[in-house]
Protein backbone atom coordinates (compact mmCIF):
# COMPACT_ATOMS: atom_id res chain seq x y z
CA UNK A 1 0.00 0.00 0.00
CA UNK A 2 1.18 3.50 -0.77
CA UNK A 3 1.21 6.02 2.04
CA UNK A 4 -0.21 9.26 0.73
CA UNK A 5 -0.53 12.33 2.91
CA UNK A 6 -4.17 12.15 3.97
CA UNK A 7 -4.60 15.17 6.16
CA UNK A 8 -2.84 18.18 7.68
CA UNK A 9 -3.34 19.11 11.30
CA UNK A 10 -2.69 22.52 12.81
CA UNK A 11 -1.69 22.33 16.44
CA UNK A 12 -2.61 25.72 17.84
CA UNK A 13 -2.45 27.40 21.23
CA UNK A 14 -5.55 29.30 20.19
CA UNK A 15 -7.55 26.94 17.96
CA UNK A 16 -10.60 29.18 17.80
CA UNK A 17 -8.59 32.12 16.48
CA UNK A 18 -6.67 29.86 14.09
CA UNK A 19 -9.94 28.52 12.69
CA UNK A 20 -11.33 32.03 12.30
CA UNK A 21 -8.21 33.31 10.54
CA UNK A 22 -8.07 30.54 7.92
CA UNK A 23 -11.82 30.50 7.37
CA UNK A 24 -11.80 34.27 6.85
CA UNK A 25 -8.76 34.05 4.60
CA UNK A 26 -9.63 31.05 2.42
CA UNK A 27 -13.33 30.50 2.92
CA UNK A 28 -12.68 27.16 4.63
CA UNK A 29 -15.35 25.74 6.93
CA UNK A 30 -14.84 24.08 10.29
CA UNK A 31 -17.08 21.48 11.88
CA UNK A 32 -16.42 20.29 15.46
CA UNK A 33 -19.59 18.25 15.90
CA UNK A 34 -17.91 14.92 16.71
CA UNK A 35 -16.96 13.01 19.89
CA UNK A 36 -13.56 14.70 20.21
CA UNK A 37 -14.89 18.16 19.46
CA UNK A 38 -12.25 17.99 16.72
CA UNK A 39 -12.30 20.99 14.42
CA UNK A 40 -12.44 19.31 11.02
CA UNK A 41 -11.47 21.65 8.22
CA UNK A 42 -13.11 21.44 4.85
CA UNK A 43 -11.27 23.47 2.26
CA UNK A 44 -14.33 23.21 0.03
CA UNK A 45 -12.22 21.85 -2.81
CA UNK A 46 -11.93 18.30 -4.19
CA UNK A 47 -8.26 19.07 -4.86
CA UNK A 48 -5.56 18.77 -2.23
CA UNK A 49 -6.18 17.39 1.25
CA UNK A 50 -8.45 18.35 4.12
CA UNK A 51 -7.30 19.11 7.62
CA UNK A 52 -8.08 19.73 11.24
CA UNK A 53 -7.15 21.83 14.24
CA UNK A 54 -6.15 20.43 17.63
CA UNK A 55 -5.38 22.48 20.75
CA UNK A 56 -1.81 22.86 22.01
CA UNK A 57 -0.84 23.52 25.61
CA UNK A 58 0.26 27.12 26.29
CA UNK A 59 3.96 26.23 26.54
CA UNK A 60 4.05 24.40 23.19
CA UNK A 61 4.80 25.96 19.83
CA UNK A 62 2.18 26.22 17.11
CA UNK A 63 2.94 23.86 14.25
CA UNK A 64 1.46 21.80 11.44
CA UNK A 65 1.77 18.05 11.21
CA UNK A 66 0.98 15.65 8.40
CA UNK A 67 -1.02 12.42 8.61
CA UNK A 68 0.21 9.62 6.38
CA UNK A 69 -2.09 6.73 5.48
CA UNK A 70 -0.91 3.27 6.49
CA UNK A 71 -2.48 -0.19 6.30
CA UNK A 72 -1.33 -1.14 9.79
CA UNK A 73 -0.56 1.56 12.38
CA UNK A 74 1.32 -0.75 14.76
CA UNK A 75 3.55 -2.10 11.98
CA UNK A 76 4.17 1.43 10.69
CA UNK A 77 5.18 2.59 14.18
CA UNK A 78 7.56 -0.34 14.61
CA UNK A 79 9.14 0.36 11.24
CA UNK A 80 9.46 4.08 12.05
CA UNK A 81 11.08 3.27 15.40
CA UNK A 82 13.56 1.04 13.60
CA UNK A 83 14.45 4.04 11.44
CA UNK A 84 15.01 6.27 14.47
CA UNK A 85 11.57 7.77 15.13
CA UNK A 86 10.28 8.29 18.67
CA UNK A 87 6.68 7.52 19.62
CA UNK A 88 4.75 10.39 21.18
CA UNK A 89 1.31 8.79 21.19
CA UNK A 90 1.13 5.01 20.61
CA UNK A 91 -1.39 3.54 18.15
CA UNK A 92 -4.74 4.73 19.45
CA UNK A 93 -8.23 3.99 18.21
CA UNK A 94 -10.22 7.14 17.61
CA UNK A 95 -13.99 7.37 17.94
CA UNK A 96 -15.30 5.99 14.66
CA UNK A 97 -12.60 3.33 14.47
CA UNK A 98 -9.70 5.11 12.73
CA UNK A 99 -6.34 4.32 14.28
CA UNK A 100 -3.63 6.91 14.72
CA UNK A 101 -0.17 7.23 16.23
CA UNK A 102 1.99 10.34 16.56
CA UNK A 103 5.76 10.22 16.31
CA UNK A 104 8.82 12.43 16.07
CA UNK A 105 11.01 11.70 13.05
CA UNK A 106 14.78 11.48 13.67
CA UNK A 107 15.02 15.26 13.06
CA UNK A 108 12.44 15.91 15.77
CA UNK A 109 9.60 16.74 13.39
CA UNK A 110 6.21 15.39 14.51
CA UNK A 111 4.07 13.38 12.12
CA UNK A 112 1.21 10.90 12.38
CA UNK A 113 0.38 7.58 10.81
CA UNK A 114 -3.27 6.95 10.23
CA UNK A 115 -5.24 3.82 9.41
CA UNK A 116 -8.67 4.66 8.13
CA UNK A 117 -11.47 2.42 9.38
CA UNK B 1 27.33 30.45 16.48
CA UNK B 2 29.95 30.57 19.21
CA UNK B 3 33.38 30.42 17.69
CA UNK B 4 32.45 32.46 14.62
CA UNK B 5 34.99 35.17 15.42
CA UNK B 6 37.64 32.56 16.24
CA UNK B 7 37.06 31.05 12.78
CA UNK B 8 37.42 34.52 11.27
CA UNK B 9 40.72 35.03 13.11
CA UNK B 10 41.94 31.62 11.95
CA UNK B 11 40.98 32.39 8.35
CA UNK B 12 42.77 35.74 8.50
CA UNK B 13 45.91 34.12 9.93
CA UNK B 14 45.86 31.38 7.29
CA UNK B 15 45.36 33.88 4.51
CA UNK B 16 48.43 35.81 5.70
CA UNK B 17 50.45 32.60 5.88
CA UNK B 18 49.35 31.67 2.37
CA UNK B 19 50.86 34.91 1.13
CA UNK B 20 53.99 34.61 3.28
CA UNK B 21 54.96 31.16 4.54
CA UNK B 22 57.23 32.74 7.15
CA UNK B 23 54.38 34.69 8.70
CA UNK B 24 54.20 33.53 12.33
CA UNK B 25 51.55 33.45 14.99
CA UNK B 26 53.75 35.84 16.94
CA UNK B 27 53.59 38.28 14.00
CA UNK B 28 49.81 37.92 13.81
CA UNK B 29 49.55 38.52 17.57
CA UNK B 30 51.72 41.62 17.22
CA UNK B 31 49.46 42.87 14.43
CA UNK B 32 46.43 42.42 16.66
CA UNK B 33 48.21 43.90 19.68
CA UNK B 34 47.82 40.65 21.61
CA UNK B 35 49.96 38.27 23.58
CA UNK B 36 50.79 35.35 21.25
CA UNK B 37 50.18 32.60 23.82
CA UNK B 38 46.72 34.03 24.59
CA UNK B 39 46.01 34.20 20.87
CA UNK B 40 47.12 30.57 20.47
CA UNK B 41 44.69 29.52 23.21
CA UNK B 42 41.88 31.49 21.57
CA UNK B 43 42.55 29.89 18.19
CA UNK B 44 42.54 26.45 19.81
CA UNK B 45 39.15 27.30 21.30
CA UNK B 46 40.38 26.80 24.86
CA UNK B 47 39.87 30.44 25.83
CA UNK B 48 36.89 32.73 25.25
CA UNK B 49 37.33 36.06 23.48
CA UNK B 50 36.24 39.07 25.55
CA UNK B 51 33.93 41.52 23.78
CA UNK B 52 36.49 44.35 24.00
CA UNK B 53 39.03 42.21 22.15
CA UNK B 54 36.55 41.25 19.44
CA UNK B 55 35.80 44.94 18.95
CA UNK B 56 39.47 45.92 18.79
CA UNK B 57 40.62 43.00 16.62
CA UNK B 58 37.66 43.33 14.27
CA UNK B 59 38.65 46.97 13.71
CA UNK B 60 42.24 45.91 12.94
CA UNK B 61 41.00 43.33 10.43
CA UNK B 62 38.91 45.98 8.72
CA UNK B 63 35.40 45.07 9.91
CA UNK B 64 32.87 47.77 10.67
CA UNK B 65 31.43 48.25 14.14
CA UNK B 66 28.13 46.62 13.05
CA UNK B 67 29.96 43.46 11.99
CA UNK B 68 31.92 43.45 15.26
CA UNK B 69 28.62 43.73 17.17
CA UNK B 70 27.31 40.60 15.39
CA UNK B 71 30.44 38.62 16.35
CA UNK B 72 30.12 39.83 19.96
CA UNK B 73 26.48 38.76 20.03
CA UNK B 74 27.39 35.37 18.52
CA UNK B 75 29.87 34.72 21.35
CA UNK B 76 27.15 35.34 23.89
CA UNK B 77 24.46 33.16 22.34
CA UNK B 78 24.10 29.92 24.30
CA UNK B 79 25.52 26.91 22.52
CA UNK B 80 23.05 24.71 20.64
CA UNK B 81 23.41 21.93 23.21
CA UNK B 82 22.79 24.24 26.17
CA UNK B 83 19.87 25.89 24.42
CA UNK B 84 18.33 22.49 23.55
CA UNK B 85 18.73 21.27 27.12
CA UNK B 86 17.10 24.43 28.47
CA UNK B 87 14.24 23.99 26.00
CA UNK B 88 13.74 20.34 27.06
CA UNK B 89 13.88 21.24 30.73
CA UNK B 90 11.32 23.98 30.15
CA UNK B 91 9.03 21.58 28.27
CA UNK B 92 9.12 18.80 30.88
CA UNK B 93 8.77 21.20 33.79
CA UNK B 94 5.69 22.67 32.11
CA UNK B 95 4.34 19.12 31.59
CA UNK B 96 4.86 18.36 35.29
CA UNK B 97 3.18 21.61 36.36
CA UNK B 98 0.26 20.92 34.03
CA UNK B 99 -0.49 17.44 35.41
CA UNK B 100 -0.19 18.78 38.96
CA UNK B 101 -2.29 21.91 38.53
CA UNK B 102 -4.82 21.34 35.75
CA UNK B 103 -7.78 19.44 37.23
CA UNK B 104 -8.99 18.18 33.83
CA UNK B 105 -6.42 15.35 33.96
CA UNK B 106 -7.62 13.82 37.21
CA UNK B 107 -11.25 14.53 36.40
CA UNK B 108 -10.89 12.79 33.05
CA UNK B 109 -9.56 9.61 34.67
CA UNK B 110 -12.10 9.77 37.49
CA UNK B 111 -14.94 10.03 34.99
CA UNK B 112 -13.70 7.01 32.98
CA UNK B 113 -14.43 4.91 36.08
CA UNK B 114 -17.98 6.17 36.44
CA UNK B 115 -20.88 4.07 35.20
CA UNK B 116 -22.35 5.66 32.11
CA UNK B 117 -19.00 7.19 31.03
CA UNK B 118 -19.13 8.31 27.43
CA UNK B 119 -16.06 8.29 25.18
CA UNK B 120 -16.73 11.86 24.12
CA UNK B 121 -14.58 14.79 25.21
CA UNK B 122 -17.57 17.14 25.00
CA UNK B 123 -19.31 14.95 27.60
CA UNK B 124 -16.14 14.92 29.75
CA UNK B 125 -15.72 18.70 29.45
CA UNK B 126 -19.25 19.32 30.68
CA UNK B 127 -18.74 17.18 33.78
CA UNK B 128 -15.14 18.30 34.45
CA UNK B 129 -16.22 21.96 34.25
CA UNK B 130 -13.53 22.55 31.63
CA UNK B 131 -13.56 23.60 28.00
CA UNK B 132 -13.39 20.92 25.29
CA UNK B 133 -9.96 22.30 24.32
CA UNK B 134 -8.68 21.93 27.90
CA UNK B 135 -10.00 18.38 28.03
CA UNK B 136 -8.43 17.55 24.66
CA UNK B 137 -5.07 18.90 25.83
CA UNK B 138 -5.43 16.72 28.95
CA UNK B 139 -6.43 13.74 26.76
CA UNK B 140 -3.32 14.15 24.60
CA UNK B 141 -1.10 14.40 27.69
CA UNK B 142 -2.69 11.35 29.37
CA UNK B 143 -2.19 9.30 26.20
CA UNK B 144 1.40 10.51 25.85
CA UNK B 145 2.19 9.64 29.46
CA UNK B 146 0.60 6.21 29.15
CA UNK B 147 -2.10 6.91 31.75
CA UNK B 148 -5.09 6.47 29.47
CA UNK B 149 -5.88 4.13 26.63
CA UNK B 150 -8.34 4.51 23.76
CA UNK B 151 -9.20 0.95 22.84
CA UNK B 152 -10.24 -0.70 19.61
CA UNK B 153 -13.67 -1.49 21.08
CA UNK B 154 -14.27 2.27 21.41
CA UNK B 155 -13.82 2.41 25.19
CA UNK B 156 -11.41 4.73 27.00
CA UNK B 157 -9.68 3.23 30.03
CA UNK B 158 -7.70 4.67 32.91
CA UNK B 159 -4.55 2.50 32.98
CA UNK B 160 -2.94 3.96 36.11
CA UNK B 161 -3.99 0.82 38.05
CA UNK B 162 -4.59 3.07 41.08
CA UNK B 163 -6.99 1.66 43.67
CA UNK B 164 -8.50 3.85 44.88
CA UNK B 165 -7.95 6.69 42.43
CA UNK B 166 -7.30 9.77 44.54
CA UNK B 167 -5.97 13.15 43.48
CA UNK B 168 -2.83 12.68 45.55
CA UNK B 169 -2.12 9.20 44.15
CA UNK B 170 -2.79 10.46 40.61
CA UNK B 171 -0.33 13.34 41.03
CA UNK B 172 2.39 10.94 42.19
CA UNK B 173 1.87 8.53 39.30
CA UNK B 174 1.56 11.32 36.75
CA UNK B 175 4.74 13.03 37.95
CA UNK B 176 6.62 9.75 37.82
CA UNK B 177 5.40 9.28 34.23
CA UNK B 178 6.58 12.78 33.32
CA UNK B 179 9.93 12.09 34.99
CA UNK B 180 10.34 8.83 33.05
CA UNK B 181 9.34 10.45 29.75
CA UNK B 182 11.84 13.26 30.39
CA UNK B 183 14.57 10.77 31.33
CA UNK B 184 13.96 8.95 28.05
CA UNK B 185 14.83 12.25 26.35
CA UNK B 186 17.92 12.65 28.54
CA UNK B 187 16.38 15.31 30.80
CA UNK B 188 16.65 14.66 34.52
CA UNK B 189 14.75 16.52 37.16
CA UNK B 190 12.91 15.88 40.41
CA UNK B 191 13.88 12.61 42.07
CA UNK B 192 16.76 11.85 39.69
CA UNK B 193 18.33 15.27 40.20
CA UNK B 194 18.21 14.91 43.98
CA UNK B 195 19.84 11.49 43.65
CA UNK B 196 22.55 12.96 41.44
CA UNK B 197 23.35 15.69 43.96
CA UNK B 198 23.42 13.25 46.88
Separation of alpha carbons A2 and A13, rounded Å: 33
For residue B113, what are the domain limits?
80-189
Q: Which residues of B touch A37 (CB under 8 A)?
A: 121-122, 125, 132-133, 135-136
Q: Which of B32, B57, B76 is the last residue of a domain?
A: B76
- Which of B94, B120, B146 is nearest residue A35 as measured by Cβ atoms? B120
Q: Which of B50, B76, B102 is the last residue of a domain?
A: B76
Q: Which residues of A touch B (CB under 8 A)?
A: 15-16, 32, 35-38, 54-60, 88-90, 92-95, 97, 99
Separation of alpha carbons B141 and A89, rounded Å: 9
Q: Which residues of B touch A30 (CB under 8 A)?
A: none
pLDDT of B191: 58
Helices (H), B45-164: 51-60, 65-76, 80-101, 104-112, 121-128, 132-144
Do B47 and B144 share a structural domain?
A: no
Do B143 and B103 share a structural domain?
A: yes
Do B105 and B55 share a structural domain?
A: no
Residue of B nearest to A58 (CA): B94
Residues in chain B, pLDDT under 50: 192-198
- Which of B91, B136, B154 is nearest residue A36 as measured by Cβ atoms? B136
B71: CB partners within 8 A, 6+ apart: B4, B5, B8, B54, B58, B63
Judged by CB atoms closer than 8 Å, whether chains meet at A37 and B136 is answered as yes
Q: For an interface test with A, which of B136, B151, B155 has the most A Cβ atoms less than 10 Å from its Cβ?
A: B136
What are B83-127's pLDDT values in tens digits?
778 888 888 899 999 998 999 999 999 999 999 999 999 999 999
Do B85 and B69 share a structural domain?
A: no
Within-domain flag for B26: yes
- What domains does chain A contain, in order, with CATH numbers? 9-63 (3.10.180.10), 70-117 (3.10.180.10)
Judged by CB atoms closer than 8 Å, whether chains meet at B119 and A95 is answered as yes
CA distance B133 to chain A (A): 6
Within-domain flag for B142: yes
More confident residue, A68 or B85: A68
What are A2-22's pLDDT values in tens digits?
899 999 999 999 999 999 999
pLDDT of A42: 98
Q: Which residues of B touch A60 (CB under 8 A)?
A: 91
As a whole-number percent, the residues of chain A with pLDDT over 70 amount to 100
- Which of A37, A38, A59 is nearest residue B94 as measured by Cβ atoms? A59
CATH of the domain at B122: 1.10.10
Do B32 and B103 share a structural domain?
A: no
The mean pLDDT of A78-96, rounded to a whole number, is 95
Domain count for chain B: 2
Q: For an interface test with A, which of B150, B153, B154, B180 has the most A Cβ atoms less than 10 Å from its Cβ?
A: B150
pLDDT of A39: 98
Task: Please give the DSSP secondary-structure letter assigned to residue A7.
Answer: E
Separation of alpha carbons B139 and B153, rounded Å: 18
Q: What is the mean pLDDT of chain A?
A: 96
Separation of alpha carbons B90 and A57, rounded Å: 13
Amino acid sequence: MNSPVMQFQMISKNPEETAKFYCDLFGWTVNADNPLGYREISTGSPEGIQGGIWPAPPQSPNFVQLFMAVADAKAAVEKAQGLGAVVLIPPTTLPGGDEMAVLHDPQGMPFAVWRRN
Amino acid sequence: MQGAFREKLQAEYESRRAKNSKYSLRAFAAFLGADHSSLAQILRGSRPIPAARIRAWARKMGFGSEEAAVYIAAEHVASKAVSQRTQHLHHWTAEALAVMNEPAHFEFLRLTREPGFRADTRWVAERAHSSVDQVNIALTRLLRLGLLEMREDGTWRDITALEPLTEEAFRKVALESVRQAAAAKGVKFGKSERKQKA
